[in-house]
Amino acid sequence: VANLKCTFIAIKLDGVQLGLVGEIIELFKQKGSRLVAMKFLWASGEHLKQYYIDLKDRPFFPGLVKYMNSGLVVAMVREGLNVETNPADSKRGTIHGDFCIQVGRNSIHGSDSVKSAEKEISLWFKPEELVDYKSCAHDWVYE
């Protein structure tokens, strides 16, 4: 399928602490995306500074890094049709629309483009951690 893409998804510490990990994974599964990699970790301050490097000059940067370094994160790579996300589309029925209360505590991050996904995946996963397989449901989900 030509439009299958990989995206990076992080269930942030508020989503982990609120017990939303299973629900969020299930929502992605229901949309037909395939799990390529997943890990549960406590990201270091240095890793987060690199991850959020584009925001380093923003006044909220130190607080963001400190917050994200204060708990566990579930990092995932998912593959599916048009899986990249547009944060502006946070309508009811979307993960942000259903689980986000405040912008700074929005439970989840999803790459907003293929280019962002490639960069983010490489920051969180080694190539050998990405599993290449074809789901038995693939032909039932995609033309």
Please report, for the domain that includes residue 62, its CATH number: 3.30.70.141
Residue 27 class from Cβ within 10 Å (0-12 exposed, 13-18 middle, 19+ buried)? middle
Look up the pTM and report it.
0.80
For 81-114, write each residue's pLDDT tens digit: 766 555 555 555 555 555 555 555 667 887 888 8
Is residue 142 assigned to a domain?
A: no
In the beta sheet, which residues pair with residue 105? 102
Is residue 143 assigned to a domain?
A: no
Among candidate residues 115, 105, 120, 110, the one with its CA nearest the CA of residue 50: 120
Is residue 75 assigned to a domain?
A: yes
In the beta sheet, which residues pair with residue 110? 9
Is residue 109 assigned to a domain?
A: yes
Is residue 137 assigned to a domain?
A: no
Domain total in the chain = 1
Range of the domain at 119: 6-132
| Positions marked active-site | 109
Is residue 1 assigned to a domain?
A: no
Is residue 139 assigned to a domain?
A: no
pLDDT for res 60: 93
